Structure 1
Amino acid sequence: MKFEKVIVEKNENHVATLTLNRPESMNTFSSQMAAELNQALIELDSDPLIRVILLKGAGKAFCAGIDVNELAGKTAIEYREWIEKMEHPLVTISKLKKPVIAQLHGVAAANGMGLIAAADLVIAADNSRMGLTAINVGLNCVGPIIPVSRCVGRKKALELLLYGNLIKMPEALSLGLINKIVPQDELESQALQWAEELAQKSPIAVQIAKTGFYHSEDMSYEEQFAYMNEAFARLCTTDDAKEGVAAFFERRDPVWQEK
């Protein structure tokens, strides 16, 4: 599929960079961009040469939410279909086998913050900000709050949802919304380096780890152990598991076989 509102680039180190490409609108979600982003994620997950997806925004912001120019003149049913399309990528990320690292710069607001929270890992520029800002224009972020609340817990999630304030990166880090803070001028290089480091791990081990984590997240404590132990047992039968252990004993770099 040819994309207009997202850019897909692949490198020889098994990393695909997926860029939101509506810089003139601070990468706010249009229906077209939401659909293209979702399709691009699915296609990259199926690409045997790609192991890690690096998600970022063009221009001066990561993503400032949803394009309100599309808001007017819909019925309740049409609004539901419209917002489901906008939030579909947030759900899709959890279903992908391959990890998604978000590269945050500028602002991530409303659905943009939801996209950050939905990503598996996040590296952020030190001057970035994020917030569930829709409450400030008479709307709300009841979709984006779902991945946000899984990072921060109920009380802080409700505060973010109801007040709509933008928070800075030290607070975002303490809340578990991001993994790393780096200087703005080092964001591009450090994000790519981090993605390429993850891409050096066994692809099948990473994929089983991510899939198992999301599938077991809402299970009971005991059920989680049973599910994860089964996943680990399946992993142990793979060529990569055998190669990884052999390489460890032979003091050499492993050569991964599983895609």
Structure 2
Amino acid sequence: MANAAAVQESVQAPVSVSEADGIVQITLASPPANALSIAMMEALKGALDRARDDDAVRVIVLRSEGKVFCAGHDLKELTAHRADADRGRAFFEKTMLLCSGLMQTIVRHPKPVIAEVSGIATAAGCQLVASCDLAVASETARFATPGVNIGLFCSTPMVALSRNVSRKHAMEMLLTGEMVDAGRAHAFGLVNRVVPQDALNQTVMNFAQTIASKSPLTLKIGKEAFYAQAEMELSQAYDYTVRVMVENMLARDAEEGIGAFIEKRAPEWKGK
């Protein structure tokens, strides 16, 4: 029986996925650390890709099991490859590229992604939160980019962090490696709301349900435009968003939504 249990544990999926009413919940299910091992990142990427291709899905929620949302990369997995002939270089590159690709998958995903943060989010786990479109944290959640404490600056987490909070706050986290409580994370702009633990999931689901009620086409257009214009010079951003607005106005959902507003009725979205 012990062998059977070991086999079952070894094949247990690192994430679990559930869907209801257009909202997919992807749960990091490898406590206690929910570390971003190769298996975890591949499973997350796969779940996100399936949600992208499912027309019934409107919103995605990333959550976790246990007391840690995500502790970042699996340091034991990385360290094991120092015995490789190249001292781990190929495996380190594979890990960092896979992680960077995962974060970009979230940002470029056509559907909004909400982080439901219960517990600790550190290093690439903090990066995961920062990469999501929205984040709601429990009052006991804490955040850090502590790589500097172990001789490994959080350079890739820095990309997402510095695009969410001010430079001074980002550098404070990166240079000190200290934990930031949920209240300060909210003040920094890393999370949208901080709520009691027992209200966390319901708050996230309220967010998700509100967003899921909108036109899926409009959400896709808006999310893509938001991240694109953020990287542009001001006049270029306006030129780009003028084109986006014109194309959006020509969409059937915009015609339906404006018509429904004028006629004082609920719109019927077609996603076109």
Instruction: Report matched runs for 1:187-226 at 5 Å.
Output: 187-226=200-239
Instruction: Report matched runs for 1:12-27 at 5 Å.
Output: 13-23=21-31, 25-27=32-34
Instruction: Report matched runs for 1:122-137 at 5 Å.
Output: 122-137=135-150
User: Deviation at 1:220?
Assistant: 1.0
Residue number in structure 2 paired with 1:102 = 115
Opposite residue 27 of structure 1, the aligned amino acid is N
Kindly report the root-mean-square deviation, in angstroms, between the aligned alpha carbons of the 2 structures: 1.5
Alignment partner of 2:70: what SS?
A: coil
Q: Distance in 2 between matches of 1:204 and 1:226?
A: 21
Alignment partner of 1:219: what SS?
A: coil
Opposite residue 20 of structure 1, the aligned amino acid is L
Residue number in structure 1 paired with 2:8 = none
Instruction: Report matched runs for 1:1-259 at 5 Å.
Output: 4-11=13-20, 13-23=21-31, 25-72=32-79, 73=82, 74-258=87-271
User: Deviation at 1:75?
Assistant: 3.1
Identity %: 34
Aligned residues: 256
| Structure with larger Rg | 2
Q: Distance in 1 between matches of 2:12 and 2:246?
A: 40
Question: Does the CA-based 8 Å contact 1:126-1:184 persist in structure 2?
Answer: yes
Q: Distance in 1 between matches of 2:238 and 2:12?
A: 41
User: Deviation at 1:76?
Assistant: 2.5
User: Deviation at 1:3?
Assistant: 8.3
Opposite residue 57 of structure 2, the aligned amino acid is I
Q: Distance in 2 between matches of 1:128 and 1:207?
A: 30
Q: Which runs of 4+ in 1 moved over 6 A?
A: none
Deviates more, 1:100-109 or 1:247-256: 247-256
Question: Does the CA-based 8 Å contact 1:30-1:86 persist in structure 2?
Answer: no
Q: Distance in 1 between matches of 2:243 and 2:236?
A: 11
Question: Does the CA-based 8 Å contact 1:7-1:21 persist in structure 2?
Answer: yes
Deviations 1:107-166 (A, max 9, x none): 001110000001000011111110101222222211011110111132221221121111
Question: Does the CA-based 8 Å contact 2:78-2:91 persist in structure 1?
Answer: no
Deviates more, 1:212-221 or 1:114-123: 212-221
**Structure 2: segments with no counterpart, 5+ residues:** 1-10
**Structure 1: segments with no counterpart, 5+ residues:** none
Alignment partner of 1:22: what SS?
A: coil
Alignment partner of 2:175: what SS?
A: helix
Q: Distance in 2 between matches of 1:158 and 1:30?
A: 26
Q: Distance in 1 between matches of 2:134 and 2:98?
A: 23
Deviations 1:144-202 (A, max 9, x none): 11110111132221221121111011111111111111111110111112111110011
What TM-score results when the alignment is normalised by the length of structure 2? 0.90
Q: Distance in 1 between matches of 2:23 and 2:37?
A: 26
Question: Does the CA-based 8 Å contact 1:34-1:88 persist in structure 2?
Answer: no
Q: Distance in 2 between matches of 1:141 and 1:39?
A: 25
Question: Does the CA-based 8 Å contact 1:87-1:111 persist in structure 2?
Answer: no
Deviates more, 1:44-53 or 1:245-254: 245-254
User: Deviation at 1:77?
Assistant: 3.5
Question: Does the CA-based 8 Å contact 1:19-1:58 persist in structure 2?
Answer: yes
